[in-house]
Chains A and B, each alone.
Chain A
Amino acid sequence: MSASTETGSPAGKTWKSKEEFLGCVILTDWILLVILFAVLLGSFHIHYMLLAGDWDFWIDFKDRRMWPTVTPIVAMCFAAAAQSFFWTRFRLPIGATTVVLALLIGEWINRYDNFWGWTFFPINLVFPSALIPMGFWLDIVLMISGSWLVTALLGGLGWGLLFYPINWPVLAQYHQATEIDGVLLTLADLIGFNYVRTGTPEYIRMVERGTLRTFGKDVVPVAAFFSGFISMLVYFLWWNVGKWFSTTKYLEIEEV
């Protein structure tokens, strides 16, 4: 057998040309991107629904204290892990943005198909929390600093602080006041009351429950700082979880 033929590649090589080789690399890149995106979408979605749950499902759970505290903290887990994977293995500054985009796409499919399409809850009751600018923030802080320590401290704090302001442009319209039968309500409260949820009674909402009363009405900044602080700690932990998940281990042939 000759080393090469007119139609085949050189002996011992699979690719006929550099162009073909690069084409295969690009195709594999796309397949990897789609698989990674789907895996992150599914796993982060489950994680987020279990931990943020009702706070993210319903507009009348999105209060000034619990929602901006809990949601960024639980969202930080996958953002940090994905950054660890994309940054240390590929120097790609897209980890946090990718997971939050994947989550948002999964959530929107869920809210539109299931909540609206199957059970007719209006979208203004069930839209998810916005997270994308937080993803940009975390990725770009990591890219510019090149340090996961700086990203944990600065990025984590900003992650918590940004959450409420980036959601307010949608939320504000639902915090206008109305009155029903002599009771003062926001539109968010009223949507929750109007559109019956058999399994979600009003008392399971945790609207500004807690003992933090010193700061009067300014509970959002305090909640956001606390959320940012915990997000820092979560970042440290989950960066290492991501690192552990992105290790590659081989079995020696003798072990098989």
Chain B
Amino acid sequence: MKSLNLQSMAKCATARVVRLWILGLVVAGALTTLPATPAAAHGERSQQAFLRMRTLNWYDVKWSKTELNVNDEMELTGKVHVFSGWPQAVARPGESFLNVGEPGPVLIRKSAFVGEVPVPRTFSMDVGKDYEYKIVLKARRQGRYHVHVQINVKDGGPIVGPGQWITIKGDMKDFTNPVTLLEGSTIDLETYGITWTYIYHFFWMAAAAAWILYWFMTKGIIVRYWQVKAGKGRELIGQDEKRIGAITLAAVLLAVLVFYAAANREFPRTLPMQAGLLTGISPIDEPRSTVAVQFKGGSYTVPGRELRIRAKVTNNGKEPIRLGEFTSAGLRFLNPDVFTTRPDFPDYLLADRGLSVSDPNPIAPGETRDLEVIVQDARFDIERLSDLAYDTDSQFGGLLLFFSPSGERQRAEIGGPVIPKFQAGATL
């Protein structure tokens, strides 16, 4: 009776084990193959406020197109000011890389320039300087994506600039990436070499599977264990087995030699990978700003999302000027008295009525005036610049942009410590 029970249990267990294995494999297969929800953001808001405000100040950022078909090209251009008061907590941009913030290579980067210099590699920037950049992108995958300019700074991390929604129509299956080799032929880099890579890898994997199964099928695992346990391990690997091993090894080494020689014959001219720091890239060559700004203090009213900056402004130019814009962390706060039309810029970063000054009158040539600049907009909070109050280095930074009646623009960097003002009952 007992043996009958054990038998039936063994049968049930076997059937159950098989069912569980099948179920497990189905679940594992589903988990690894089902489509995942695409990521739409890149965590730009999660970066600390002082980091975004006092490292790289992005301006004049433009996306040449916001709607493309697969294989169309667009340009992402702009300028970046490397803030003079670069925070001590972040490594300086001695080794930087011009990058794109996007959810995977939905657009590929065909070329990238800083100034006139192509930058497929790491380059060096100097603190206090301004640089102009251009990235040529080619649409690859259909969909709607948030595309940022970004500069990665070694030991400092990625510093994300403004982003724009880009719509790509068509089908990635039609995407091509033609590249001309130095020897003259043209290949499609999108698919180049992939079939051979599969063949080569799966050839060796099949050989390995055959080797494993051969030994597994001759006496398996448990019987071998018993024999080893009984002190008969040496009998398991005799001269015949060693001969099989030697022949297999000879075949493997011969195959390695043949594949290696064939690769050298097919590709006689190869280079090592190219790397190295690009230095000496010139910053933007333009006349020195005729506006001098001296920071005199500031405060941040937490519940009101209002940054107040006191500054002494000297106009050394020949025309009167008015403050039109404060830009920081990719956000633009505009003075509606100066900007009568709304510029083309992503709405979530553009506060077109977010800037005012205590004295709206133009600053005359040669005049020095104490101004209170008021930056107030919900975007300050939405983009988590309010978290400045909780940073270890509660200093803000950004660019003030002044405009003359002739349309000439003057930039001035500003930054310094701000005192947060918490009101009763208010929280961040």
Contact = CB atoms under 8 A, between A and B. Distances in A.
Interface of A: 1, 5, 7-14, 16, 24-29, 31-34, 60, 62-64, 88-94, 97-98, 100-101, 104-105, 108-109, 113, 117-124, 127-128, 130, 132-133, 135-137, 139-141, 143-144, 146, 162, 165-166, 168-170, 172-191, 193-199, 201-205, 207-208, 217
Given A9-B7, A140-B249, A186 B273 contact: yes
B269 interface: yes
A144 B250 CA distance: 13
Contacts of B181: 176-178, 187
Interface residues of B, number: 107
A77 to B, nearest CB: 18
Interface in B219-278: 220-225, 227-228, 233, 236-237, 241-242, 245-246, 248-249, 252-253, 255-256, 259-260, 262-264, 266-267, 269-275, 277
B378 interface: no
B33 interface: yes
A184 B14 CA distance: 62
Contact of A136 (B3, B7, B110, B248): B248
B107 interface: yes
A14 B228 contact: no
B105 A121 contact: yes
B348 interface: no
Interface stretch (B56-64, B192-200, B338-346): B192-200
A149 B255 CA distance: 27
B141 to A, nearest CB: 6
Contact of A101 (B2, B109, B150, B205): B205
Contacts of B273: 60, 62-63, 175, 186, 188-189, 205, 207-208
B131 interface: no
B211 A109 contact: no
Interface in B338-372: none
Interface stretch (B45-53, B118-126, B290-298): B118-126
9 contacts: A130-B200, A173-B263, A175-B267, A176-B183, A178-B181, A183-B118, A196-B99, A203-B122, A207-B274
Interface stretch (B172-180, B392-400, B412-420): B172-180
A215 B272 CA distance: 15
B108 interface: yes
B260 A168 contact: yes
A199 B97 CA distance: 11
A98 B211 CA distance: 9
- Closest 8 CB pairs between A and B? A201-B152, A181-B118, A207-B275, A132-B204, A175-B270, A201-B97, A119-B104, A29-B220
Contacts of B205: 101, 104-105, 132
Contact of A14 (B1, B10, B104, B141): B10
Contact of A195 (B99, B105, B121): B105
Contacts of B103: 119
Contacts of B192: 124, 173, 187
Nearest to A63: B273
Interface in B142-191: 150, 152, 154, 158, 172, 177, 179-183, 187, 189-191
Contacts of B246: 140, 144
A128 B269 CA distance: 24
B32 interface: yes
A24 B13 CA distance: 12
Contacts of B266: 172-173
A109 to B, nearest CB: 6
B209 interface: yes
B101 interface: yes
A170 B197 contact: yes
A175 B182 CA distance: 11
A193 B99 contact: no
Given A132-B205, A172-B264, A202-B122, A25 B223 contact: yes
